[in-house]
Amino acid sequence: MIEVSPDLLTFADGRPVQAVDWEKRREELFSAIIPHEYGGMPPAGTKTVGVLLCDAAIRSLPGVTYRTCEVRTTFAEGGELSFHLNLWIPPGEGPFPVILDGDGCWRYFDDDIVKSVLARGNIAASFNRTAVAADNKDNYRDTGIYRLFPEAEFGVLSTWAWGYHRCVDVLSQLDAVHADQIAITGHSRGGKTVLLAGATDQRIAVTNPNDSGIGGSGLNHWKCERSEVVDDFIRVGSIFWFGKGFAEYQHRDREIPYDQHFLHGLVAPRALLVNEAYEDPGANPPGSYASCRAAFPVYEMLGAKDRLGWALREGGHGHRPADFEALLDFTDRHFHGRSVRRDFQRELFPQLDELLS
């Protein structure tokens, strides 16, 4: 029987966790995983504003407003960082929920996906997380937020998650936005980013990592065959996504003193939908499912067991229309109060013990 540890409902000193204790346990989880695996988070800044650059109509989408904003953050240490946020606002009276994607650098969030988001009565929003820090091991320290904090120890995943947080700052200032109905989504390294962003910002209502793998929803201690391991990130040169502490566990994944279900616990009791693909062993889908199951008692204790879900599809690594459809079904239920037939908590992997080692 797979036992995911450390147990989310046991304090570090061995005491059981009750619902009234959750904020204290949440602080323990944060302190254990965020500084070590991700190198901490960048400072939020003293002020973030959204500067309207343009509002435009779209001929192919009657009634839709296409808005381009500049997200501009100033810091007490001096300096300013800005990047663009694009919105597609549906016709009608708002405010509207938001589906925010940060993979603008990859364009998974294409025109067809935007149309499907709008059709469900949501604002579609997108930004390019690599404007906050480059996804390039050779020059990332010369870009974005690292130019303001050259000695910073936070990894690039933290900077990208910070980008989501600053988008939430701006979205929350807009009359068209239902500020307590913001969902975030991202794929692969963007999925790792999204789970981290949702775990570290309690304003985010729905967190939706897609095929996020190790450093995301996939467990470190229990992996399927061909799953990512710490050594893979070092070998291919992407270890800069993480904090220095994580790299120290090369060839010692099972010895990492926390596991990824800590992030699921940090999201609780807010809504979390984890997307995976059966033919994507690198992302450790059985281990991701086990993460969700390990977090379920927390959601149950907090009276929010319907807010945790998972959706697996056939096929391999990618952010595909079926993944976005699952998210839109999930937000239909949680944002719009619509009846949805999909079961987001169905039993999977009957041979889980044999798949993970």
pLDDT at position 77, please?
Answer: 84
Q: Give residue-wise pLDDT tens across range 165-213.
A: 999 999 999 999 999 999 999 999 999 999 999 999 999 999 999 999 9
Tell me if 88 sits within 8 A of 117, measured CB to CB: yes
Nearest CA to 272 out of 327, 222, 321, 192 is that of 327
- What pTM value is reported for the model? 0.99
Q: How far apart are CA 203 and CA 177, in angstroms?
A: 13
Judged against a pLDDT cut of 90, whether residue 78 lies above it is answered with no
Which domains, and CATH codes, for the chain?
Answer: 26-44+87-355 (3.40.50.1820)
Q: How far apart are CA 54 and CA 162, in angstroms?
A: 24
Buried b (16+ CB within 10 A) or exposed e, 206-217: bbbbbbbbbbbb
Q: Give residue-wise pLDDT tens across range 322-338.
A: 999 999 999 999 999 99
For the chain, state the CA radius of gyration: 19
Q: Give residue-wise pLDDT tens across range 5-62.
A: 999 999 999 999 999 999 999 999 999 999 999 999 999 999 999 999 999 999 999 9
**What percentage of the chain reaches a pLDDT higher than 90?**
99
Element (H, E) at 80: strand 80-89
Judged against a pLDDT cut of 90, whether residue 297 lies above it is answered with yes
Q: Give residue-wise pLDDT tens across range 205-258.
A: 999 999 999 999 999 999 999 999 999 999 999 999 999 999 999 999 999 999
Judged against a pLDDT cut of 80, whether residue 303 lies above it is answered with yes
Average pLDDT, stretch 141-167? 98
Mean pLDDT estimate for the chain: 98
Average pLDDT, stretch 259-267? 99
Average pLDDT, stretch 276-305? 98
